[in-house]
Every structure is written in structure tokens, then in C-alpha cells.
């Protein structure tokens, strides 16, 4: 039974179904809980990876000149859900372009003078692939067929990705730290008196309302490069006394983007760049020489071991859970 669950539980929907259908089975509940924890600690594409994805889509669409046009849009019927509202295929040829902002991606479907935005969330394993038509991955859930006989597909093994036609940027996400630098800084200092900044700095860095695009590995690298900053102290205090942190929230993602992205477990640079440079750049995240703990959302946070006593003190004071 447990092996069956592990094989079957590749998406969120089956996990929730097992919990719903077997609420009193302790063995199933334990296994499913562990699987959910595993998924929650799987690295997701962050700002750098989304920018590279947008670059790839634009290259596929325009890199060979303005003559490339798309013909139809096809959704895999296996990918169900009201969160995946797909636009109808235009009646004629259409063009496709992409833009990223933090952890979001928007595709612009243009037919004549009509432009329809399609907001994408990549989930944990979402990425785009260009293949010959008919050779798409079995995990291709959204396909943009082209008149040259190729297909640009959104491939998502775990099905956490989603999309919605007609939607632009989410209102609850802040400016992009790399492309909207002034707006990004203004948004933080304007709201610095909010309760959110009462939390430890390592937690607020994951708050997309203020740090849009910063995720697990970027958070670890930003804080590691500020050896004087205790990652477990009040965020407002850190930002007031160490403005360099805000600058690093721009610099580190830009550097990660320039080096080809984080090369995460389920995401690879679509341009197939050399991994060695980004691997040398990442000093803290997933490094066995570093310490780690789980943040309030159960995600692993990697940090300099010299701050481990501060972590234990927070546990002692019930400020975070072990």
C-alpha cells in the first residue's frame, strides 16, 4: 500500500485525495505527511530562473526572426482545475512573447491588434521545451504549436504549475528587485512599520509581498554574504542597521541570472549553460558544511553555523518550532 502511495503521489491532487479518503489510517497519514514535507523542501524556480525562462520563450518565438508564427494552443486534458484557464486558440497565426516579474511569468498572445496575457506559475518542476510536434513530453500540459512543425510546451512533472488567461501581475506581489529597483526599495521602507517586519529577517525575505522572487536558495546566499547579520533577529532592526541587505536582494539574483540560474533539482537552464560557475557561486544553500533548520512554513533554511546558538535560543523561547 505504501509503495502504491509513493508511486501515485506525484501531484498535489492525489496527496489530498488520499488524506480525504483515509483520514483515520495512521500509516497512510504518516506517509502522505512525509511526502508533503518532501515537496515543501524541494527547491522551486526563483527570480533568476523565471527571467531565464522568459528569455528562452522569447528566443524560441523571435530568435530566428519575425517570421515564426504559432498556429494553435492545446491543453493536456489530464491537467485539470479551475486555476488552469486556457485561452482559446486564435483563428489565425499568432505571436508569443514572455516577461517575468519576481516569481511570476506572463505570456503575451498576440493576434493582430489583440493581446491576451496568460499568467503562469511554474510550481516546482515547470519549464518550457521546444520539440518537434508529436515528440512532446508526456508531462507537457500546455502546448503552443508552430507552423514550422515544432511545439513549445510547458512541461510540469509534478503538476504544481498553473496558468490563467487574461490575468496580469498578482496584486499581492511586490516589485521585482532586479528590474524595478527603486519601486522595490520604496515598497519595503514604506511598509517597514508593518507587523510582517517583526518577524526574523530570514522569514521576511520569503514574503513575496516585499521580496518578490526571493526563494530558498537566494535567501540563503543573501544572508550568508552578510556575516555580521544574525538571520534570526528582527527584520526591521536588520534593515535599519544594514541597508546593504536590500542592495544584495538586487545583486545576488542578478548574479544568479547571469550565471545561468540555480540548476535546481527539477529545473535546468533551458540554454544548457555550464553548471560549474553557478555551483561555485552558491556558497551556503544545500552545503553540508552549513547549518540548517526549518522555517515557520516547514522549508529548510541554510545558514552559517556560527548562528546556531541563536536558533536554539529561538526554539527555547518558542519563537520558532524545531
Domain that holds residue 16: 2-40
Q: Do the domain assignments include residue 321? A: no
pLDDT, tens digit, 9 for 90 and up, residues 281-308: 999 999 999 999 888 777 889 999 999 9
Q: Do the domain assignments include residue 96? A: yes
- Same domain for 214 and 133? no
The arithmetic mean of pLDDT across residues 41-65, rounded, is 83
- Same domain for 185 and 312? yes
Q: Is residue 262 packed enough to be buried (19+ CB in 10 Å), middle (13-18) or exposed (0-12)?
A: buried
- Same domain for 117 and 222? no
Q: Do the domain assignments include residue 241? A: yes
SS3 152: strand
pLDDT: is 122 or 62 the higher one? 122
Q: Do the domain assignments include residue 172? A: no
- Same domain for 18 and 54? no
- Same domain for 227 and 136? no
pLDDT: is 147 or 124 the higher one? 147
Using an 8 Å Cβ cutoff, are 208 and 172 in contact?
yes
- Same domain for 53 and 34? no
- Same domain for 190 and 312? yes
Q: Do the domain assignments include residue 176? A: no
What pLDDT does 199 receive?
A: 93
Structural domain ending residue among the three candidates 105, 139, 165: 165
Q: Do the domain assignments include residue 147? A: yes
- Same domain for 61 and 88? yes
| Average pLDDT of the chain to the nearest whole number | 84
Q: Do the domain assignments include residue 173? A: no
Domains in the chain: how many in total? 3
- Same domain for 267 and 243? yes
What pLDDT does 104 receive?
A: 94
- Same domain for 78 and 145? yes
- Same domain for 53 and 124? yes
- Same domain for 247 and 263? yes
Say what the alpha-carbon torsion angle 212, 181, 120, 127 is, to the nearest 10 degrees. Answer: -90
pLDDT, tens digit, 9 for 90 and up, residues 155-168: 988 777 889 898 89
Amino acid at each position: 500500500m505504501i509503495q502504491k502511495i509513493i508511486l501515485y503521489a506525484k501531484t498535489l491532487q492525489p496527496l489530498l485525495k488520499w488524506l480525504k479518503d483515509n483520514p483515520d489510517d495512521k500509516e497512510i497519514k504518516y506517509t502522505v505527511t512525509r511526502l508533503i514535507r518532501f515537496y515543501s523542501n524541494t527547491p522551486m524556480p526563483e527570480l533568476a530562473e523565471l527571467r531565464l525562462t522568459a528569455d528562452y520563450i522569447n528566443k524560441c518565438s523571435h530568435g530566428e526572426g519575425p517570421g515564426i508564427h504559432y498556429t494553435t494552443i492545446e491543453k493536456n486534458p489530464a491537467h485539470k482545475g479551475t486555476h488552469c484557464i486556457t485561452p482559446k486558440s486564435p483563428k489565425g497565426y499568432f505571436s508569443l512573447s514572455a516577461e517575468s516579474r519576481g516569481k511570476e511569468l506572463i505570456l503575451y498572445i498576440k493576434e493582430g491588434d489583440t493581446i491576451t496575457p496568460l499568467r503562469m506559475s511554474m510550481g516546482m518542476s515547470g519549464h518550457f521545451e521546444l520539440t518537434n510536434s508529436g515528440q512532446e513530453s508526456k508531462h507537457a500540459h500546455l502546448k503552443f504549436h508552430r507552423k514550422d512543425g515544432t511545439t513549445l510546451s510547458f512541461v510540469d512533472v509534478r503538476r504544481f504549475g498553473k496558468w490563467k488567461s487574461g490575468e496580469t501581475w498578482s496584486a499581492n506581489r511586490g516589485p521585482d528587485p532586479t528590474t524595478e529597483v527603486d519601486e522595490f526599495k520604496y515598497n519595503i521602507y514604506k511598509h517597514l512599520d508593518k507587523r510582517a517586519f517583526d518577524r526574523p529577517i530570514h522569514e521576511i525575505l520569503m514574503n513575496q509581498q516585499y521580496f518578490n522572487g526571493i526563494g530558498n536558495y537566494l535567501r540563503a546566499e543573501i544572508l550568508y554574504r552578510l556575516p555580521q547579520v544574525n538571520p534570526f533577529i528582527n527584520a526591521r532592526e536588520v534593515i535599519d542597521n544594514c541597508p546593504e541587505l536590500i542592495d544584495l536582494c538586487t545583486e545576488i539574483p542578478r548574479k544568479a541570472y547571469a550565471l545561468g540560474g540555480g540548476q535546481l533539482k527539477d529545473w535546468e537552464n533551458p540554454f544548457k549553460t555550464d553548471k560549474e560557475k553557478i555551483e561555485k557561486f552558491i556558497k551556503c544553500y544545500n552545503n553540508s558544511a552549513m547549518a540548517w533548520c526549518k522555517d515557520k512554513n516547514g522549508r529548510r533554511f541554510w545558514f552559517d553555523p556560527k548562528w546556531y546558538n541563536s536558533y536554539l535560543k529561538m526554539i527555547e523561547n518558542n519563537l520558532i518550532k524545531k
